[in-house]
Chains A and B, each alone.
Chain A
Amino acid sequence: MGDYEASKINHDNHLLLDQPLLRLPYELLRKNFRSAHFVIEKDSTQVKATLKEAATASLSGKSSPDDVLKNLDVMLNKMRGLKRKLSACADEEERLYRQLDARTAHLAELNDIHTVDDVRYQPWSRKRLDRLMVDYMLRHGYSDSAEAMSEQKGMQDLVDIETFKSMNRIRKALENGSVAEALAWCQENKKELRKMDSDLEFNLRYQQFIELIRTQDTPRKLEAIAHAKKYLLPYRDTHPDEVSTICGLLAYPPIYNFDSGTGRPNPSKAGIFPLQLGPNYDNNGSLYPLLTVCPPRYTNIYSQTRWQELADSFVAAHNELLSLPSSPLLHIALNAGLSALKTPACHSNVQHSTAAGYNTGNKNTTVCPICSMELNELAKAVPYAHHSKSHVEHDLYVLPNDRVYGKARLLEYAKKNGLPDSLVKDLVTGDVFPWDELKKVFIT
């Protein structure tokens, strides 16, 4: 460690964080192709059918020239619509090709860089950090910052602002209790979601059902039953638990102040109990209407946190569909990086003599990135790096106060402080000692 070997760039492994950079446009390319394929298939079959019908009708003399004209107009409209959709797809394809080109060019820059000490590596790595930050911002919905940042750095082709913006739009909608946007997205990606065995659509439909019941309004409840028949029953094999609650939900109204522990209504805020079938004594001898002792199973269903769960499962499905890692890349990089850099000294209370730069030693002291305020608190969450070899300064001496420094650094510091040759000064505490009291330290 710390040798040439460690600073060499292993090209096979160095781009792990950059996989989504190319994967995402590729997945989008495929998605775009699929939608182009879909509209072509749909519209061309229709046009072909209309054409055949119109031709036979007109040959057999069943239709007038006006009818023929009408049919032709229908076909023309269809084809113009198709053209519009296809042009959009073709534009998107061109944009994605341009992105792919820019991105591979960016990644290829690394090909000629063989060590991290190469002067060209730093700008490249900085650019990567910028990308990771934009990715982080986008995933957390800070789109304005992401846009400002990518504009500032001129790297619009290297980041996926639009993709994440539409993702965040749908997520926000879910968090605010609207399923329409997410359902439209499910419709768009139906086949792929089915392949992934995603239950997102079912959960969205189920939520719709819950919301209809929540109103406790009779026509709405009827609508809910129809909704359940249409959208939920087909899932009874894959989601037997949820489907079996459908009827139960009809019986247990949403009384928000059910105590989640006991399942009993909270007497301080008495709700309305529409289904009172008679008094019933429970174990404690207190009086409760029979059906208002709501099993926790049903209270949970009415919980508002379900919206957050839906939003999260949408994000998960979205990321899986586009082969994006489930957490922001910056998290992954920081997780690995912080623990690689962290040492036991970074959070210790002892004032380590080499805390300020053993490596830059002789030149100027610089603060360790983990000790620096920005990351110190964050780094507490990760383990420190494992080392099998000591990394210490050359030629160590111990001062009478038990602190150890490299000889070169001691000499330099004494000289900087204008001390005579016979004295040294502790770099941290500032104590001055005569050289004769120092003792050599052997590190094996």
Chain B
Amino acid sequence: MDTLRREIHSLNKAPKLRSTVQDVDKIIEELEAARAQVAATLDTHTASLTMAKLQNPLNRHFEVMTQDLKNVSKVHKNLGKTLDKAMPVKPLPTDHDVMAEHMDLINRAIAMHLLREGEFSVAETFQNETQDDVTLADVTATQPSTGPDGTEDQIMSEPDGGGPDLMEMSYQSEPVAKRQQSQASHIPPPELKDRFADMYRILESIRHHDLGPAIEWAREHSEELEARGSNFEFDLTKLQYVWLFRGPEVNGLPSDRPNGRLGAYLYGKENFPRFQARHLHEIQQLASAMVFAPNLPDSPYSSLFAVDQSFSEIAASFTREFCSLLGLSAESPLYIATTAGALALPRAIKYASAALAKGTAWTTTDELAFETPLPSNMIYHSIFVCPVSKEQTNEANPPVMIPCGHVLGRETLKKLCKGNRFKCPYCPQDGLFKDARRIVL
């Protein structure tokens, strides 16, 4: 890559097509001069003489031009060679493009990605363009045989497998998520835009160290946040307290009554009692810090009062909470999926070429034939692989725990059974098949 980069960087000095334009210029000059000469005299002799004289220089210029062209061609050829070396052509697996059948779903995913990234104008352009496309397709192709009811049921039933706790909660609290489900599958719900616009407005004020809108939001959704076991509201209140506590020198707010230590005291008195039950210890610490105020950096509370990172941290957790309440993941799924795709692609290509060479094909459609290593932060679910059969457990073959606490796939256990007794493959205990419990990981 480095060589390629150097070579491309030096292309400016290499022979270019521009030089042939100069050659043409020279030819034009010669021709013009000759024309002027002939036109000046309009004499047969001069004309034939000029024309005869013109032959050699013109031909020479043409030769130079051909030479220039050759040089340019050489540069391009070399560039091609370096490119081949730096980035050898590896064909991408395109033979069965499953995604092509689901354009509407991809369009929706892109539109939602744009919205969550705050690219509202691009999202709008995109939605307009895709919608034109959809209406066009609906007119030409008469295939909406699966009515809206059918698709709705499908979508409604399936998020259960996903983040069920969050989804369910968002059903109760946020009508958005529910209404989204009943929307046609290719259009992101219109409310979503306003939601994300809200989110960006609040994030913007956090960036300007104004927690007001965020606190307001957290208070509105206090119950749902609590149900999630989230401390977000308290974290906000705490940061606001600390922020006021640090006074005008740090927070740059006008130094008046609601600011500074007094302001923090008043704020705390008003707001902390709501959190007393769950965060008593922290509140005590924050309150006792008052005593150390003159010498905070050396006090045991200095770490509590460091605000350098706090705002970006609170912004990140705000995004996470906000998306979770909408039943969405905090990071754009499209981003994670494409990044994972880039990481998994080498294996996929390797597998494809190996399968091609052997003339075999993977026959089951539910599971990939090869392992795709992903970094740990891209693993979102527990994965249990039966230690005996080496198969991933799933609905049909769930994990079961035998009395000694070891876990196996149910199919494995069935095979291990002699009559209705089995012996644990990992410890000396044995047990009865009916004592095995199906567990949910």
In the complex, whether A439 has a CB less than 8 A from a CB of chain B is yes
**Chain B residues near A6 (CB, 8 Å)?**
343, 373-376
Contact status A370-B166, CB under 8 Å:
no
24 contacts between A and B (CB under 8 A): A2-B376, A10-B346, A33-B72, A54-B51, A55-B52, A65-B46, A68-B47, A69-B35, A97-B16, A101-B11, A111-B2, A133-B110, A145-B126, A148-B121, A332-B93, A338-B341, A345-B381, A350-B398, A354-B382, A359-B377, A364-B321, A372-B328, A384-B368, A389-B385
Which residue of B38, B109, B126 is within 8 Å of A69 (Cβ)? Answer: B38
Which residue of A97, A343, A386 is within 8 Å of B370 (Cβ)? Answer: A386
Of all chain B residues, the one with the shortest Cβ separation from A391 is B383
Chain B 346-375 near chain A by CB (<8 Å), digits 1 or 0: 101100000000000000111111111111
Query: In the complex, which residues 419-444 of chain A have their Cβ closer than 8 Å to any Cβ of chain B?
Result: 427-428, 439-444
Which residue of A55, A93, A354 is within 8 Å of B381 (Cβ)? Answer: A354
**Chain A residues near B1 (CB, 8 Å)?**
11, 104, 107-108, 111
Which residue of A100, A356, A384, A417 is within 8 Å of B366 (Cβ)? Answer: A384
Sort chain A's interface into a size bin: 35 or more
**Chain B residues near A337 (CB, 8 Å)?**
336-344
In the complex, whether A48 has a CB less than 8 A from a CB of chain B is yes
In the complex, whether A117 has a CB less than 8 A from a CB of chain B is yes
In the complex, whether A158 has a CB less than 8 A from a CB of chain B is no
A105 CA to B330 CA in the complex, in Å? Answer: 30
Which residue of A69, A104, A378, A388 is within 8 Å of B4 (Cβ)? Answer: A104
Of all chain B residues, the one with the shortest Cβ separation from A378 is B105
Query: In the complex, which residues 25-53 of chain B have their Cβ closer than 8 Å to any Cβ of chain A?
Result: 25, 27-28, 31-32, 34-35, 38-39, 41-44, 46-48, 50-52
Which residue of B69, B160, B177, B230 is within 8 Å of A37 (Cβ)? Answer: B69
Which residue of B32, B52, B80 is within 8 Å of A59 (Cβ)? Answer: B52
In the complex, whether A183 has a CB less than 8 A from a CB of chain B is no
**Chain A residues near B25 (CB, 8 Å)?**
83
In the complex, whether A128 has a CB less than 8 A from a CB of chain B is yes
A26 CA to B80 CA in the complex, in Å? Answer: 7
In the complex, whether A418 has a CB less than 8 A from a CB of chain B is yes
| Additional 14 contacts, C-beta under 8 A, given A44-B62, A439-B401 | A2-B375, A51-B54, A59-B52, A83-B24, A104-B8, A152-B119, A323-B89, A340-B341, A341-B378, A373-B327, A377-B154, A384-B368, A402-B439, A404-B440
Give 8 nearest A-B pairs by CB, closest first: A371-B162, A337-B341, A369-B333, A368-B380, A333-B341, A7-B375, A344-B394, A2-B376
Of all chain B residues, the one with the shortest Cβ separation from A426 is B165
In the complex, whether A52 has a CB less than 8 A from a CB of chain B is yes
A104-B1, A152-B119, A374-B333 as given contacts; A381 in contact with B102, CB under 8 Å: yes
Sort chain B's interface into a size bin: 35 or more
Least CB distance from A419 to B in Å reads 10
A79 CA to B333 CA in the complex, in Å? Answer: 57
**Chain A residues near B73 (CB, 8 Å)?**
33, 37
Contact status B439-A403, CB under 8 Å:
yes
Contact status B340-A341, CB under 8 Å:
yes
**Chain B residues near A282 (CB, 8 Å)?**
none
A333-B345, A340-B341, A351-B160 as given contacts; A402 in contact with B440, CB under 8 Å: yes
> Chain A: interface secondary structure?
helix
Contact status A428-B165, CB under 8 Å:
yes
Which residue of A37, A79, A354, A384 is within 8 Å of B24 (Cβ)? Answer: A79
In the complex, whether A248 has a CB less than 8 A from a CB of chain B is no
Of all chain A residues, the one with the shortest Cβ separation from B157 is A349
In the complex, whether A36 has a CB less than 8 A from a CB of chain B is yes
A142 CA to B107 CA in the complex, in Å? Answer: 11
Query: In the complex, which residues 112-164 of chain A have their Cβ closer than 8 Å to any Cβ of chain B?
Result: 115-117, 125-126, 128-129, 132-133, 136-137, 140-142, 144-145, 148-149, 152
In the complex, whether B405 has a CB less than 8 A from a CB of chain A is yes
In the complex, whether A228 has a CB less than 8 A from a CB of chain B is no
Which residue of A2, A75, A355 is within 8 Å of B164 (Cβ)? Answer: A355
**Chain A residues near B220 (CB, 8 Å)?**
none
Of all chain A residues, the one with the shortest Cβ separation from B408 is A444
- Which interface residue of B39, B405, B438 has the most chain A CB atoms within 10 A? B405
**Chain B residues near A331 (CB, 8 Å)?**
97, 99-100, 106
A382 CA to B412 CA in the complex, in Å? Answer: 26
> Chain B: interface secondary structure?
helix
In the complex, whether B201 has a CB less than 8 A from a CB of chain A is no
Query: In the complex, which residues 379-399 of chain A have their Cβ closer than 8 Å to any Cβ of chain B?
Result: 381-393, 398
A140 CA to B317 CA in the complex, in Å? Answer: 36
Of all chain B residues, the one with the shortest Cβ separation from A73 is B35
Query: In the complex, which residues 38-63 of chain A have their Cβ closer than 8 Å to any Cβ of chain B?
Result: 40, 44, 47-48, 51-52, 54-55, 58-59, 61
Of all chain A residues, the one with the shortest Cβ separation from B16 is A93
Contact status A381-B375, CB under 8 Å:
no
Q: Tell which of A84-92, A269-277, A289-297 binds the partner.
A: A84-92
**Chain A residues near B221 (CB, 8 Å)?**
none
A1-B373, A16-B349, A359-B379 as given contacts; A72 in contact with B38, CB under 8 Å: yes
Least CB distance from A13 to B in Å reads 4
**Chain B residues near A404 (CB, 8 Å)?**
439-441
Query: In the complex, which residues 1-39 of chain A have their Cβ closer than 8 Å to any Cβ of chain B?
Result: 1-3, 5-7, 10-11, 13-17, 19, 22-23, 26, 29-30, 32-33, 36-37
In the complex, whether A193 has a CB less than 8 A from a CB of chain B is no
A51 CA to B286 CA in the complex, in Å? Answer: 96
In the complex, whether A303 has a CB less than 8 A from a CB of chain B is no
Contact status B407-A442, CB under 8 Å:
yes
A275 CA to B20 CA in the complex, in Å? Answer: 62
Contact status B341-A335, CB under 8 Å:
yes
A373 CA to B326 CA in the complex, in Å? Answer: 10
A376 CA to B336 CA in the complex, in Å? Answer: 13
In the complex, whether B87 has a CB less than 8 A from a CB of chain A is yes
Chain B 209-238 near chain A by CB (<8 Å), digits 1 or 0: 000000000000000000011110000000
In the complex, whether B277 has a CB less than 8 A from a CB of chain A is yes
Contact status A439-B90, CB under 8 Å:
no
Contact status B24-A86, CB under 8 Å:
yes
In the complex, whether A347 has a CB less than 8 A from a CB of chain B is yes
**Chain A residues near B51 (CB, 8 Å)?**
51, 54-55, 58-59, 68
Contact status A358-B20, CB under 8 Å:
no
Contact status B97-A388, CB under 8 Å:
no
In the complex, whether A352 has a CB less than 8 A from a CB of chain B is yes
